[in-house]
Structure 1
Amino acid sequence: MGQCHAALLTDRFVLRVAGEDARKFLQGLITSDINALEESSAVHAGLLNPQGKILFDFFVVAVEGAFLIDIAKEKASELRQRLGFYRLRAAVEIAEEPAFKVAASWGDRPRLPGGASAYADPRLPELGLRVLLPSNADVAELGCAPVPEGNYHALRICLGVPEGGRDYAFGDTFPHEALFDQLRGVDFAKGCFIGQEVVSRMEHRGTARKRIVPVEGDCPLPAPGTSIEADGVAIGTLGSVSGTSGLALIRLDRAGEALSRGAALAAGGVKIALRRPAFAHFAVPALPA
């Protein structure tokens, strides 16, 4: 099995968008450029509200004249309804795709069983592949060492890659705060999409004060949702946790002010340090040397 690891992502679901207007339909709605897709490749994208906040995050995969959407299971029905609302008279069919389930594989390349397809995670190469497995297939058929779903999330947390619903609240978070601008989740050159004016303004003015960043505790971190404080003042919220590592949505300006005056940052009484992800092009404050 070498160095290949694979985990079934039981909290994911697949929708299919097909029809002669499918490409144009999605292109006018979502944050990434559908026209950049080739068959068996994917984009990371979101669907925003008119105020520019994320309602859904997902992957879109091009397959045989249609598009498959890899989305959190708990958001799939809502996205299907939302897309139906925008469809109007477009020649588009939106349906559940029960023929597939989603797995993640990283390390050496997996062996794909019949009917399966894989695409590179478009956010970050280190995340490996996402695999669309036939619903009757087993993750062990990938020829990798099967590992718990938590191992995938531990990898994601280590790399500093957030996930909607775990690290930020839908309907209350801008793409820049969720690192869409850092992880290929928004295309600023593609033209119009819902919420585009707000997102473009944040990009050009550099006004994102909150960001999701990795945090490291001096002992195991508390539960997701715990407030992160500096001198008793809330500056952020803890998201995904794996032992002493986690992700948190932080007001970086307030964190910087606190650290500059020697204040400690803490989550539920656990002292934490902030860390800048290797892919990030923004500064993350740290204690003065």
Structure 2
Amino acid sequence: MPEVRLRLYKLIEVSGTDKIEFLQGQLTQDVSCLSESTKLFAAWCNPKGRVIVTMSLLLSEEAIVLVVPAGIAESILDKLAMYRLRSDVSFALSDAIHDSSSSSIQFDQKHLILHGIPIIDETNSESYTPHMLNLDKLSAISFDKGCYTGQEVVARTEHLGNSKRRMMRYQADSDGLRVGSKLSDGSRNVGTIVNISGRDLLAVTPVAIHKEPLIAESITVTPLGVPYEI
């Protein structure tokens, strides 16, 4: 397996006898399903159910490795330490190369956008719920494991089945947009750009108008869909 170079990411290694139990109480994913031959996509939410950061999870010999965007890594490390309490866990931050037995790991932003996979980092942290980001459709949420931070909000949304705003992939007809740019239907703001690479972007907008072109800063954006059902 080739080494994975994480130029725009950092690694947080979580070790200690309570590492699985600790992460189970924090992340949306069922960490107990992680193995040396698989990786998992997950999110960490605040108590209000808003996503602080998205991440990939890898298993090494001694630790569980959280692959997080570099710009938010130190903040995530500090926040995790606040939740440690008496748990036997320790954290180490690194930008070193990580050897993984996973068959394929892609962190290129355009690749992720084309596959409808969001990156939540310091530019858009705590702005969206997991359902808005389609994390339920990306198998990044376990609805069978125990409680975790923000779980009550996430479970309520799943139970009601009424997430009226979800992420959609769009393409802009010119350059100039950025993360956080507002999308309009011509009369009011209806959405916000989550991620963008060139003219390809992901934005959270009302499901009812997912098939309609929108306008952002006088630039038309056309919906292209995501490769999964929402």
- Tell me which interval the TM-score lies in, with the shorter structure as reference length: 0.7 to 0.9
Work out whether residues 40 and 63 of structure 1, in 8 Å CA contact, stay in contact via their aligned partners in 2.
no
Aligned ranges for residues 159-178 of structure 1 at < 5 Å?
Answer: 159-165=115-121, 169-178=124-133
Is 1:275 the equivalent of 2:224? yes
1:117 — aligned with what? Answer: 100
Q: Structure 1 residue 179: deviation in Å?
A: 1.5
Call closer, same or farther: CA 1:213–1:38 in 2, change over 3 Å: same
Please give the root-mean-square deviation of Cα atoms over the aligned residues, in Å: 2.5
Aligned match of 2:164 in 189, 205, 209? 209
Tell me the residue number matched to 1:285: none
Counterparts in 2 of 1:7 and 1:69: CA distance versus 1, 3 Å: closer
Instruction: Give 1:276 shift.
Output: 2.2
Change (3 A) 1:277 1:21: same
In 1: Cα distance, 2:109 partner to 2:46 partner: 27
Give the superposition deviation at 1:40.
Answer: 4.2
Matches within 5 A, 1:122-137: 128-130=104-106
How far apart, in 2, do the equivalents of 1:200 and 1:159 lie? 25
Distance 2:83 2:190 in 1: 37
How many Å separate the matches in 2 of 1:74 and 1:242? 17
Q: How far does the alpha carbon of each residue in 1:66-99 deviate from its partner, in whole angstroms, 9 at most, with x for none?
A: 111111112111111112111111111112235x
- Structure 1: unaligned runs, 5 residues or longer: 1-5, 103-115, 121-127, 131-148, 283-289
Higher alpha-carbon Rg = 1
The whole-number CA distance in structure 1 between the counterparts of 2:227 and 2:162 is 21
TM-score, normalised with respect to structure 2: 0.88
2:16/2:90 contact within 8 Å kept: yes
Report the counterpart of residue 220 of structure 1 in structure 2.
Answer: 174
- Matching residue of 1:106: none
**2:139 alignment counterpart:** 184
TM-score, normalising length: structure 1: 0.71
Q: Deviations over 1:45-73 (max 9, x none)?
A: 11111111111221221111311111111
Greater RCO (CA < 8 Å, at least 6 residues apart): 2
Q: Secondary structure at the match of 2:163?
A: coil
State the distance in 1 between where 2:163 and 2:153 align. Answer: 11
* Percentage of pairs with the same residue: 26
SS at match of 2:171: strand
